[in-house]
Every structure is written in structure tokens, then in C-alpha cells.
């Protein structure tokens, strides 16, 4: 109940004339566990669309449109007119093009062309784009997208995220393992290693768990 009240307050704050307040409201609503349920309501979806149309084009706001049944036209417009605009999911994240968030939202709405574009681009994305998709894994709902992103568990590129200053860097594959374990709660034999590196066998076990548990 508390979370629902907080999410509805965030929804109201989307109408703020202050861009920073509207952006923070979108972030809060995206992080809540009630966004999908709330934004399925016509008035709530209309409030979000109005906020985005007024210029609230943060990653969170764009992703939230993926919960609004009639937001496809707006999302396609965002791709056409603002696709290269820089957005980030967290203050500490590297920037990615708005297009990536919009395609993810369209994919969630069942847009097959957008999902195909997302799948085709997933292997070509830079590290920032790959991290972004892993960080929104709970938002993505298509098994074929999950399996495509599981290839990131083989990516040894070192990343700046997840570790304290001065500590050995993690790799994208380590971040990917954590993302999939967070999303699916696989019953694996090894202990989680926040901020650490996973052994090859632990990565392979996570990959096998996905293949055996989630149909492609």
C-alpha cells in the first residue's frame, strides 16, 4: 500500500512544470513495483504521455511508456525526432541514445519490428548500451530478447561500474551474471559475488540455467 501511494505521488509529480521534478518523478515511478499496474489506467497513461510530450524525455519516462497501451505512436515519434538524444538510467551510468530505451518500450508493447531492431542491434552495442539493457532486464519481457542478451555473459570487457574506487574492475560478463540471477533467481551452486568476478564454470552454470528454465 505504501509503495502504491508513493508511486501515485510520483505520477502526480510528472505534471510538475519544473523539468528536474518531473524527471525525478519518472525515475521514482520506474523504480516502483506498481508502475505497470498504475499506467494501465487510462488517466495515468495520459498523464505520462503529456509529461513526455512536454519534454520529459528521460530514460525512465521513455521506458515507462512501455506500460501504456496506446503509446506506440508517441514512441515512434521519439525514435524519429529524438532518437540520438543522450539519456541515462542512473546518475552514474554512461549515456545511451534515447532510441534504445524507446525500442525496449516498443518491444514490451508487442511491436515486432522494434523487437527485431532491438535484437539485431544487441550484438553491435557498445558497453554502455549493453549495460543499459542488462540494467532494464526486469522490464524486458520477451524470451528471445533475454536469450540474445545472455550472450553478454561471454563478454570479458572490463567496466567501471559495480566496484569501489581502486578495486579490480569487473567485466561485463560478471554484471550480466548478476543481472540474470536478479531477474530469474536461478538456483545455482555458487555464492553471489557483488563487486567480484565469476569463474568460467559459474558463468556457464548461469547460462545453462537460463537455457533450461526459459524457453526461447
Per-position DSSP letters for 77-143, written without gaps between them: HHHHHHTT-EE-SSTTSPPEEHHHHHHHHHHHTT-HHHHHHHHHHHTT--HHHHHHHHHTTTT---H
Which cell numbers in the block locate residue 110? 508487442
Whether residue 54 contacts residue 34, with contact meaning beta carbons closer than 8 Å, is answered with: no
Comparing 27-31, 41-45, 161-165, the range with the smallest average pLDDT is 161-165
Whether residue 142 contacts residue 115, with contact meaning beta carbons closer than 8 Å, is answered with: yes
The confidence score (pLDDT) of residue 160 equals 83
Quickly count: other Cβ atoms within 10 Å of residue 185's Cβ.
10
The confidence score (pLDDT) of residue 3 equals 66
Quickly count: other Cβ atoms within 10 Å of residue 150's Cβ.
19
- Cα–Cα separations (whole angstroms), residue 98 to 88, 153, 186: 9, 24, 31
Q: What is the mean pLDDT of residues 41-52?
A: 96
Whether residue 22 contacts residue 56, with contact meaning beta carbons closer than 8 Å, is answered with: yes
User: Is 163 or 76 the better-scoring residue by pLDDT?
Assistant: 76
Confidence of residue 168 (pLDDT cuts 50, 70, 90): confident
Whether residue 101 contacts residue 93, with contact meaning beta carbons closer than 8 Å, is answered with: no
The confidence score (pLDDT) of residue 215 equals 82
* Residues 56, 91, 157, 149, Cα dihedral to 10°: -40
Confidence of residue 204 (pLDDT cuts 50, 70, 90): very high
Share of the chain above pLDDT 90, in %: 87
Q: Which pLDDT tens digit goes with each residue over 86-107?
A: 999 998 899 999 999 999 999 9
Confidence of residue 162 (pLDDT cuts 50, 70, 90): low
The confidence score (pLDDT) of residue 167 equals 73
The confidence score (pLDDT) of residue 33 equals 87
Residue located via cell numbers 532491438: 118
Model confidence, pTM: 0.94
CA–CA dist 11, 102 (Å, integer): 20
The confidence score (pLDDT) of residue 5 equals 80
Q: What is the mean pLDDT of residues 56-71?
A: 97
- Over 80: is that where the pLDDT of 166 sits? no
Which cell numbers in the block locate residue 175? 554484471
Amino acid at each position: 500500500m505504501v509503495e502504491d501511494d508513493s508511486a501515485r505521488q510520483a505520477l502526480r509529480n510528472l505534471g510538475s512544470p519544473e523539468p528536474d521534478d518531473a524527471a525525478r518523478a519518472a525515475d521514482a515511478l520506474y523504480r516502483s513495483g506498481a508502475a505497470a499496474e498504475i499506467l494501465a489506467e487510462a488517466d495515468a497513461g495520459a498523464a505520462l504521455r503529456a509529461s513526455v510530450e512536454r519534454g520529459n524525455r528521460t530514460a525512465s519516462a521513455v521506458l515507462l511508456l512501455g506500460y501504456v497501451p496506446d503509446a506506440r505512436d508517441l514512441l515512434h515519434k521519439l525514435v524519429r525526432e529524438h532518437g540520438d538524444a543522450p539519456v541515462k538510467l542512473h546518475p552514474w551510468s554512461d549515456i545511451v541514445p534515447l532510441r534504445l530505451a524507446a525500442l525496449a518500450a516498443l518491444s514490451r508493447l508487442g511491436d515486432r519490428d522494434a523487437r527485431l531492431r532491438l535484437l539485431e542491434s544487441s550484438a553491435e552495442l557498445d558497453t554502455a548500451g549493453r549495460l543499459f539493457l542488462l540494467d532494464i532486464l526486469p522490464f524486458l519481457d520477451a524470451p528471445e530478447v533475454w536469450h540474445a542478451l545472455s550472450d553478454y555473459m561471454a563478454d570479458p570487457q572490463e567496466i567501471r561500474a559495480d566496484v569501489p574506487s581502486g578495486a579490480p574492475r569487473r567485466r561485463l560478463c560478471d554484471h550480466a551474471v548478476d543481472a540474470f540471477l536478479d531477474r530469474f533467481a536461478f538456483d545455482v551452486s555458487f555464492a553471489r559475488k557483488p563487486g567480484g568476478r565469476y569463474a568460467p564454470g559459474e558463468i556457464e552454470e548461469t547460462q545453462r540455467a537460463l537455457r533450461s528454465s526459459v524457453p526461447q
